[in-house]
Amino acid sequence: MPAIPDIRVAGSVQDWAHQAAAFIASVSERAILANGRFIMALSGGSTPKTLYQALASPEWRGRFDWTKIYFLFGDERCVPADHPDSNFNMANSSLFHPLSIQADHVFRMRGEGEDPSAVAMEYEQAIRQLTGARPQTMPRIDLILLGLGDDGHTASLFPGTVAMQETEKIVTPGEAPTGIRTRLTLSLGVLNQAAVVLFLVMGEGKADMVRRILEPASDADRSLPASKIAPESGQLVWMLDQAAAAGLTRSLRK
């Protein structure tokens, strides 16, 4: 049965980062206790950067066993690793480098590869090897972080694109309508097999789209990429600030 969204609203940016960090710490502890390691897929953008900086801060860095945590990426722009728009570059500067994360614990999507389909296949094999997922089965990633675009996209799954239809492959090329158009992204198939999906959303500019996803009023709302995220046997959490939650019915807020 698909997960029912667990909607959490923080009163300030600092409180938002604290709640998100505490939640991730709890999920990581459970995964390490059960499996001896914790696998987390990261998201890009300014909102996750706020979280990564909190995780690397003196308050939180000592609360994680970083030696048992492995990092994947939910999506990537097809640019070199040192490009300003690279999700890896942002995570490296705000999280990996400050925490001295071991290089073999970080699995990046090779955005600079000439053939996105080949890179997607390569990344799929890396995920299978890390998780132990057999061929023809979807891996169960412990935690996937996702953001929300103004058009309802999440990861690099954009409305009306071919990537939205992919359910058998773990990783697929994606296409953005603007900016750096060629992307790599985890598919809906693997996103909806995650143990936990955590949406990270802040800002008044996201309030209308948050409402459309969490309180859909039409088939158009229900067809948006972020509306399709519903882990089949996992947990779905939305971590919002007051501004992003402004359009929601008060009874939905925690």
CATH of the domain at 100: 3.40.50.1360
pLDDT at position 3? 74
Which domain range does residue 92 map to?
Answer: 6-247
Q: Is residue 142 part of a domain?
A: yes
pLDDT value at position 148? 98
List, for residues 115-162, the tens digit of each pLDDT value.
Answer: 999 999 999 999 999 999 998 899 999 999 999 999 999 999 999 999
pLDDT recorded at residue 187: 98
Question: Is 91 inside any structural domain?
Answer: yes
**Cβ proximity of 17 and 11 under 8 Å:** no
Q: Does residue 252 lie within any of the structural domains? A: no
Beta carbons of 126 and 70 less than 8 angstroms apart: no
Q: Is 224 helix (H, G, I), strand (E, B) or coil?
A: coil
> And the tokens for 196?
């936990």
What DSSP character marks residue 17?
H
What is the number of domains present in the chain? 1
Asked whether residue 253 is domain-assigned, the answer is no
H-state helical runs in the chain? 13-35, 46-55, 58-61, 87-91, 97-99, 116-131, 188-191, 207-214, 219-222
Is residue 158 one of the residues assigned to a domain? yes
Which residue is associated with the tokens 């999440």?
154
Task: Extract the residue ranges of the chain whose pLDDT is less than 70.
Answer: 1-2, 250-254
End-to-end CA distance of the chain: 23
* 205 falls within a domain: yes
Domain annotation covers residue 30: yes
Q: Decide if 204 is inside a domain.
A: yes
Backbone angles phi, psi at 62, to 5 degrees: -80, -5
Give residue 190's pLDDT: 97
Q: Look at residue 167 in the predicted model and tell me its pLDDT.
A: 86
- For 104-171, give the secondary structure using H, E and C: HHECCCCCCCCCHHHHHHHHHHHHHHHHCCCCCCCCCCCEEEECCCCCCCECCECCCCHHHHCCCCCE
